[in-house]
A and B are shown apart, each in its own frame.
Chain A
């Protein structure tokens, strides 16, 4: 048997294994929602996937629920966080606060706390991330990262001045390993599609939602101009080989 024949035999076996089945019972919408939210045991999750694989009706229901959840999630993020940040940084902020910031303002009400938290975040960024990077990466990359860090800290200062600590704190999630994975000096272009936000772009294109402030700073001019719109060209770092 040739290698191609072997390969075809495997695919054929998988095709027969995954052929549609007649099911006596079907998962409820609650089951599917639990699956989508990850609120099921591993065993239950695998059994549900086995069912979905062989039942087109349930599969369609699952896909439909998934798309509804995704749309809502993207809308919430864009409405609550990004415009608020953008408005504040661009200096044309209003007193309107999104739900995320409203929640944070309750949690971090005092300006002192915000200042201490922000200082801690900046210190962590400088000592934990930038210092090792300066010694480990090339001069050019280090300079680029330093510039990014300065811009991030400027954004951070503005947020603290406006009693908003949320986005400065989120920077503490960035690790040295996250930054070293990418070459920030050598960028590539990404075309935004429907539903994209700084969050989703960082998550989907860089694999880490926490990197969104860096993506924001990398595209600061555009970010200040308005929300991410379908068709926008976004600069992203390239993978470091």
Chain B
């Protein structure tokens, strides 16, 4: 039950990031402290990824924060049952939140177009995912004392 409440807490933080709001590390730091030793890997991964995303959003200059938002729009639209309304327009994404994205299955060019950027520019996606991977690995080592790859191998 606690794990489920914490997941809902994390999703609320994700919603803020999706909207481009500033989220403090301390808000997520509390969630990390709540992680118990025997927490499931998925819970650990979810928390560490969120922490990495919050830290990353703070590293970006305000003018570049759209990059993280674009990647989050893309990721969070790739889950849930397909639910793109008939006649859906990209302009409807303005000010969208977590539940608005679910099931839209946006393509990267669609996300970039909605952001008013070059739809064929995949470099932003590659760069943000690369940076977040490094950040997640670093944070995982700091918290759990082993590499993410080792941990994944053990769990398999």
Contacts and interface: CB of A to CB of B under 8 A. Distances in A.
Contacts of B15: 45-46, 49-50
A49 to B, nearest CB: 4
> What does DSSP make chain A's interface, helix, strand, loop or mixed?
helix
A6 B133 contact: yes
**What's the interface size class on A, roughly?**
20 to 34
Interface in B3-40: 4, 7-16, 19, 21
A18 B79 contact: yes
Interface residues of B, number: 38
Contacts of B12: 43, 46-47, 49-50
Contact of B14 (A3, A17, A205, A207): A17
Q: Is the interface of B mostly helix, strand, loop or mixed?
A: helix
A186 interface: no
A40 to B, nearest CB: 11
B13 A203 contact: no
Interface stretch (A7-15, A79-87, A115-123, A172-180): A7-15
A214 interface: no
A52 B129 contact: no
Contact of A50 (B79, B89, B98, B100): B98
Interface of A: 1, 3, 6-7, 10-11, 13-18, 21-22, 42-43, 45-47, 49-54, 59, 62, 193-194, 203-205, 207
